[in-house]
Amino acid sequence: MVDALEAGGNNYRGIAMVERTIEAEEIERLDAAGVRGVRFNFVTHLGEPADTRAIIEIVEKIRPFGWHAVVHFDAFRLPDLAPFLKSLDLTLVIDHMGRIDVSQGIDQPAFRLLLDLLEDEKFWVKVSGSERLSRTGPPFADAAQYGRLLVERFPDRVLWGTDWPHPNIYQNMPDDGALVDLLEIIAPRPEHLQALLVDNPTRLYWND
């Protein structure tokens, strides 16, 4: 990733997974290449959840650089995880709409908790991953509808991407063009599309 960032000049940005032992010199090197945050996983299929004590140590090290953290979690973990996330003093980006169960409706506890977190302006959310969250399959419109709700409610703190090359999907590989087409559902208003694809990522990743 660092090689790609350096080859791309200032045109690309990256998110790193780092150890708690990372030193300031290494953060400086990653920052110079274009890294602007770290990622923490609390998803069962990716192994053991991130160590919260290690997260606190890492956050203290990256805060002086203005980095943010991406958090990827299973929805069932959110009731226990939310208080910890609220305690962290930096910008947090929630991946894949919190991996909610889109078959459970907007009043499900996980989605209500997600909305509650987003009332705090330090939280952002990626309205991506419709292909992972869908219960009906292609074209994944059932999941995209949740993205639309989030865009309408928090238009200045939403991000999107295709998630290419779709790691850990071993069958029914999504068509990236079809995922792009979902933007007609997720952000049908031109001003929301502009914020989602241009203004918000520019503000978060090129804020220096």
SS3 of 134-145: CCCCCCCHHHHH
Average pLDDT, the chain: 96
Which residue type occupies 15?
I
In sequence order, what DSSP letters do the residues of 50-103 get, joined into one string?
PPHHHHHHHHHHHGGGT-EEEEEE-GGGHHHHHHHHHH--S-EEEGGGGG--GG
In the chain, % of residues over pLDDT 90: 92
Indicate if the pLDDT at residue 208 is higher than 80.
no
Burial class (CB in 10 A: 0-12, 13-18, 19+), 173: exposed
Pair type for strands 35-42 and 68-73: parallel
Q: What mean pLDDT comes out for the span 114-142? A: 96
Least confident range of 66-70, 133-137, 168-172: 168-172
Residues acting as catalytic residues: 163
pLDDT digits (tens, 9 = 90+) for 45-98: 888 889 999 999 999 999 999 999 999 999 999 999 999 999 999 999 999 999
**Residue entry with tokens 């509650």:** 116
Residue 6's CB: how many other CB atoms inside 10 A?
A: 12
Q: What mean pLDDT comes out for the span 16-38? A: 97
- Which is the CATH superfamily of the domain at 2-205? Metal-dependent hydrolases (3.20.20.140)
Domain map (residue ranges) of the chain: 2-205
CA 91 to chain centroid, in Å, comes to 11
In angstroms, what CA-CA distances link 25 with 12, 31, 89?
21, 10, 22
